[in-house]
Amino acid sequence: MSMKSAWRAARPRVSRRERGRVASQAVRVCAAAVLWATSVALVAGCGSPSATPTATAGRPSANRVPTSGPPSLAAVTAEASPTPTSPTSSTDVSSDLAVRFPKTQQGAEDFVRFVMAQVSKAYATADPTLIRPLVDVTTCPDCSRWISATVEMKQNSRHYEGVFVTMQSVHSLTVQGDAAGVITQVVAPAGKTVDSQGRTVHARSAEGPFRTDFFLQFREHWFVTNTEIVR
């Protein structure tokens, strides 16, 4: 007997029915293996943050905050929600001034009182920003001098001591469109400019009373466009 014949004779005989049952089991085992492999792949794709691939050099991941673990709720919210922007300070100032001092005779009068109070405060604190939003320096020489004087005071660490100006009377003419004229009578009390050590740099004698006319224009709010002293 040849070797091949001997091997065939040693094999157990399997019926056709048994062979069919074995083949069916093999198919089911193969399908289960495929399903298991697919599940593993899905789990790997949704794995923990430590398994998340990082950006390669030269190709940074977009809109990602590098973290050692999953981002916190606060970080996610910060990325998803744009940061609200607040209005600019100039917009706030304009809106406030327009409400406080409307385009009326009374509004014009109150605005002039406010301007001169701010001028006095600017001299006392060497702060030109208190005047700038209220005047048009391109058409008002006195306004320009108020600002340049307070700028110089700030640069030299000086300030004014005393009341810069006192308004004795304020009267607005009828508002014409966006323009108004305000007639005032003012007094400039005695005072002095001092340095950071309190030493007098310049003394001012009292002046007045004298008439000062203010010319206003209403843009986004009232502006002083010029002044004129009538002696």
Question: How confident is the prediction along the chain (231 residues), in pLDDT tens digits per residue?
Answer: 433 443 344 444 545 555 555 445 544 434 444 433 444 343 334 344 444 444 333 333 333 333 333 333 333 223 333 434 444 456 677 789 999 999 999 999 999 999 999 999 999 999 999 999 999 999 999 999 999 999 999 999 999 999 999 999 999 999 999 999 999 999 999 999 999 999 999 999 999 999 999 999 999 999 999 999 987
pLDDT at 50: 41
pLDDT for the residue numbered 231:
76
Asked if residue 128 has a cis previous peptide bond (ω within 30° of 0), the answer is no
CATH number among 3.40.190.10, 3.10.450.50, 1.10.1530.10, 3.40.50.2300, domain 95-230: 3.10.450.50
User: Which pLDDT score is estimated for 17?
Assistant: 53
Strand partners, 192: 161, 203
Cut 0.75: pTM above it: no
pLDDT of residue 16: 54
pLDDT at site 95: 82
pLDDT at 94: 78
- The distance of Cα 133 from the centroid of its chain, to the nearest Å, equals 19
CA distances from 69 to 65, 79, 119, 175, 218 (A): 11, 16, 57, 67, 58
Torsion (CA) 191, 196, 202, 207 in degrees, nearest 10: -20
- Taking the CA of residue 139 as centre, how many other CA atoms within 13 Å lie in the half-sphere pointing to its CB? 12
Instruction: Please tell me whether residue 142 adopts helix, strand or coil conformation.
Output: helix
Assign 63 to helix, strand or coil.
Answer: coil
| pLDDT confidence of residue 11 | 45
How far is 213 from 227, CA to CA, in rounded Å?
6
Q: How many residues does the chain have?
A: 231
CA distances (Å), origin 154, targets 129, 180, 194: 11, 33, 12
Q: How is residue 104 annotated by DSSP?
A: S
Residue 173's CB is within 10 A of a number of other CB atoms, namely 13
Kindly state the tokens that stand for 134: 């209220």
Distances (CA, A) of 214 to 52, 83, 107, 130, 228: 70, 43, 13, 18, 7
Please tell me the predicted confidence (pLDDT) of residue 90.
62
